[in-house]
Structure 1
Amino acid sequence: MREQAPLLNGPDAAAIERLAWDALRRIPAPFARYLSDIVMVVEEFADDETLAHFGMTDPYQLTGLYRGLPIGEKSSFDVAPNPDEIHLYRQPLIAEWQQTRVDFEKLITHVVVHEVGHHFGLSDDDMHALEDAAG
Structure 2
Amino acid sequence: MTEPSPELPFAALKAPTLDDIETLARVAFASLPSRFTAPCEGLVIRVEDFPDDETLDEMECESEYDLLGLFRGAGLTQREHLAETGDQPNLVWLYRRPIIDFWADGEETLADIVTHVLVHEIGHHFGFSDEDMEEIEGRASRNASPED
Fold shared, TM-score > 0.5 on shorter chain:
yes
* Aligned AA (2:95): Y
- Report deviation, 1:122: 1.7
Residue 53 of structure 2: aligned partner: 48
Residues 73 and 133 (structure 1), Cα distance of their counterparts in 2 relative to 1, 3 Å cut: farther
- Report deviation, 1:32: 2.4
Question: Are 1:96 and 2:121 counterparts?
Answer: no
What TM-score, normalized by structure 2, do the two folds share?
0.78
Question: Aligned equivalents of 2:139 and 2:108: distance in 1?
Answer: 18
Residue deviations 1:43-62 (CA, integer Å, cap 9, x gap): 01011111111111211010
Runs of 4 or more above 6 Å deviation: none
- Report deviation, 1:36: 3.3
Residues 78 and 130 (structure 1), Cα distance of their counterparts in 2 relative to 1, 3 Å cut: farther
Equivalent residues, number? 127
Residue 119 of structure 2: aligned partner: 113
Residue 44 of structure 2: aligned partner: 39
Give the stretch that moved more between structures: 50-59 or 69-78: 69-78
Question: Are 1:129 and 2:135 counterparts?
Answer: yes
- Report deviation, 1:95: 0.2
State the secondary structure of the residue aligned to 1:86: strand
- Report deviation, 1:70: 1.8
Question: Aligned equivalents of 2:84 and 2:67: distance in 1?
Answer: 29
* Aligned AA (2:55): T
Residue 18 of structure 2: aligned partner: 13
Question: Aligned equivalents of 1:65 and 1:72: distance in 2?
Answer: 19
What TM-score, normalized by structure 1, do the two folds share?
0.85
Question: Aligned equivalents of 2:30 and 2:115: distance in 1?
Answer: 10
- Structure 2 spans left out of the alignment, 5+ residues: 1-13, 142-148
* Aligned AA (2:122): V
- Report deviation, 1:79: 2.3
